[in-house]
Structure 1
Amino acid sequence: MTAAPSGPAASAETAVPATGGPGRLTGVIPPVCTPLTPGLEVDVPSLERLVDHLVGAGVDGLFVLGSTGEVAFLPDAHRRTVLETVVKHVAGEVPVLGGVIDMTTLRVIEHARTAADVGCDGVVATAPFYTRTHPVEVEAHLREIDAAVPVPVYAYDLPVSVHSKLDGDMLLRLASEGVLAGVKDSSGDDGGMRALMVALRDAGDAGAARFSVLTGSELTVDAAFEMGVQGVVPGLGNVDPAGYVRLYRHCLAGRWDEARAEQERLLRLFGIVNAGAPARMGRGSSALGSFKTALHLLGVIDCPLTVPPQIQLDGAETARVRTHLTTAGLL
């Protein structure tokens, strides 16, 4: 796993707690978009260029097959192609986490074994979904995934999609036992995330000390780092990875004024997710379509298609994305 930046910015006197330690994931870990061909196959050359775009900007890891990677829409063969492509192209330069999101434990374990077999450095799993699950069942689900694969398991707290908020006490317990290596917190519950940070520090054991809390709330990254999280998983990081790398480094060095300014610039750029007209498409189509449209306009990917049944951006909506990119200085 990647180490935290070294030098004066990483000294013990910085306002951000030290994030080093064996196996701990830190920094900027974008959830990689999945470029498609017009025939809806995985566009391997575009995916490789996107990886170069991200790694070249200085990101600390890659999370493939997350929500931004449209994992819920992709057939298994597409998933495997994405994993194999990214792992091979990265060639160990940064860690690669593979999303293994699916409805039930046995299906997730199958995805997790595939991810481990192709060389992912870790896997990311939500709670089970479709049917409602009890917290005891969620914990058993995560334990069984960990027992089934030889790589670290990261929990994905995504209650808006899986209808199950991960319990903080459970996360602390699984962290302390070494069952989980970290959590991507996309719950929007900043109070709960802060309580988890405090509990992990108070636990003082080796498992908790290696546990990574990664915020998925890309518009409040400076605040999250100030409360002590170890990393960020920003969908907008596909479009402007260098911006999130600058933001992380400002936070790590305790340059909070510069961090705030960068965060507010990224917040304005995030307006691209509203490019799609709500009368004709959902929020997901608009957001994922805007990221892919931006990458297409930037020359990173060949085609901005999203997976059916999502709605594609039209010419006027594409123009809105272009305006945001120009205003942010990216075009």
Structure 2
Amino acid sequence: MIETPAARPETTFGTVIPAMVTPFAQDGSLDLDAAQKLANHLVDEGADGLVITGTTGETSTLLDEENIAMFEAVVEAVGGRAKVIAGTGMNDTGHSMHLSQLAAKTGVDGLLLVTPYYNKPNQAGIRAHFETIASATDLPVMLYDIPGRSVMPINPDTLIALAEHPNIVGLKDAKGDFQSTTLVAAQTDLEIYSGEDSLTMPLMTLGAVGVVSVTAHVATRLYRQLVDAMNAGDLATARELHFRLDPYQRAVMTHIQGAVSSKLILNWQGLLPSPEVRLPLVQATEDEQTIIRADLAEAGLTF
């Protein structure tokens, strides 16, 4: 039995942060009751932060009022027990700024801002985009660098410059470029979070404080133990947990889109009434479900 070390650093956003799904009823409407129950479950399992309506929360299919309803519901459910981080980033700077201002009124603890996608701005545009939104509220901001979705990376020089903004204090790093992250970690005080579940341990070796994770929906306690072990300097325990997490990560992240797989598994576990997703996402096929079940069986979960 792995013991959880007690060492936990003081951070702005938490250290184990599930990127929470947005529950929908079978008719496609928001299920706020399910959202509150899931938020409480994740916090009970060891999460100390939650990202609401990020990519895994299907934010691109939500109306502004649905985003706000999710922020309010989760703040009501777990506010004070965990940090609630509102995903308000989009490729329209003005719209993102407006949604961030609305989010600030709901009592959220911070904002997650993704690199503007599709527009393909240059680095000057990316910097101006983030600085404009970060200046629109007093909330702390976590930038989200994920060129696999946004096409454009946030270059290290841009991140170093953005770190001078008083409200920009964190980085969700899903770039997969260890050299770039090393440079940013060495030259800024940004709180860095692994944005790729499988890279949590490697990124924490250079100073990342935790993870924003999709797989943490179904393995929250293991991520809690991994992050705590790394923060305590217990590399042997962390390595064991890193290997134990691998089949979970494969099940959630390597076969189908993470929101689809997470909702499916949460539904199998009885933690989500419906695995409903909104188009353009669709449900997993029988073959995909079989592969996911095989990975989970390797991890010790059978359905």
User: How does the TM-score come out when normalised to structure 2?
Assistant: 0.92
Once residues 324 and 42 of structure 1 are traced to their aligned partners in structure 2, the CA distance between those partners, rounded to angstroms, is 30
Once residues 142 and 171 of structure 2 are traced to their aligned partners in structure 1, the CA distance between those partners, rounded to angstroms, is 5
Q: From the superposition, tell whether residues 172 and 275 of structure 1 become closer, same or farther in structure 2 (CA, over 3 Å).
A: closer
Residue by residue over 1:68-109, the C-alpha shift from the partner in whole angstroms, topping out at 9 and shown as x without a partner, is: 111122222321221111111113211111001211110101
Answering whether residue 296 of structure 2 is matched by residue 317 of structure 1, we say no
Segments of 4+ moved more than 6 angstroms = none
**Which of 79, 92, 95 is 2:80 aligned to?**
92
Aligned to 1:217: 196
**Which of 29, 32, 52 is 1:44 aligned to?**
32
Q: How far did residue 238 of structure 1 move?
A: 0.9
**Which of 111, 121, 146 is 1:158 aligned to?**
146
Residue by residue over 1:219-262, the C-alpha shift from the partner in whole angstroms, topping out at 9 and shown as x without a partner, is: 02111111111121111001111110011111111111211111
Q: Match for 2:288: what amino acid?
A: E
Please state whether the residue corresponding to 1:118 is helix, strand or coil: coil
Once residues 274 and 125 of structure 1 are traced to their aligned partners in structure 2, the CA distance between those partners, rounded to angstroms, is 22
Q: Summarize the alignment of residues 298-317 of structure 1 with structure 2, pairs less than 5 Å apart.
A: 298-317=269-288
Give aligned-pair identity as a percent: 27
Q: Match for 2:100: what amino acid?
A: A
Q: Summarize the alignment of residues 276-291 of structure 1 with structure 2, pairs less than 5 Å apart.
A: 283-284=256-257, 287-291=258-262
Answering whether residue 163 of structure 2 is matched by residue 192 of structure 1, we say no
Q: How far did residue 177 of structure 1 move?
A: 3.7
Once residues 73 and 219 of structure 1 are traced to their aligned partners in structure 2, the CA distance between those partners, rounded to angstroms, is 27
Aligned to 1:59: 47
Q: From the superposition, tell whether residues 76 and 177 of structure 1 become closer, same or farther in structure 2 (CA, over 3 Å).
A: closer
Once residues 150 and 220 of structure 1 are traced to their aligned partners in structure 2, the CA distance between those partners, rounded to angstroms, is 31
Q: Give the alignment's Cα RMSD to 1 decimal.
A: 2.0
Once residues 92 and 240 of structure 1 are traced to their aligned partners in structure 2, the CA distance between those partners, rounded to angstroms, is 23
Contact 1:100 1:108 in 2 (8 A): yes
Aligned to 2:111: 123
**Which of 163, 166, 170 is 1:175 aligned to?**
163
Answering whether residue 211 of structure 2 is matched by residue 240 of structure 1, we say no
Please state whether the residue corresponding to 2:144 is helix, strand or coil: strand
Q: How far did residue 181 of structure 1 move?
A: 1.4
Q: Match for 1:183: what amino acid?
A: L
Once residues 112 and 31 of structure 2 are traced to their aligned partners in structure 1, the CA distance between those partners, rounded to angstroms, is 23
Q: How far did residue 319 of structure 1 move?
A: 4.0
| Consecutive unaligned residues in structure 1, runs of 5 or more | 11-18, 201-207, 277-282
Please state whether the residue corresponding to 1:32 is helix, strand or coil: coil
Once residues 299 and 275 of structure 1 are traced to their aligned partners in structure 2, the CA distance between those partners, rounded to angstroms, is 23
| Deviates most, 63-72 or 176-185 | 176-185
Q: Match for 1:239: what amino acid?
A: V
**Which of 149, 152, 158 is 2:137 aligned to?**
149
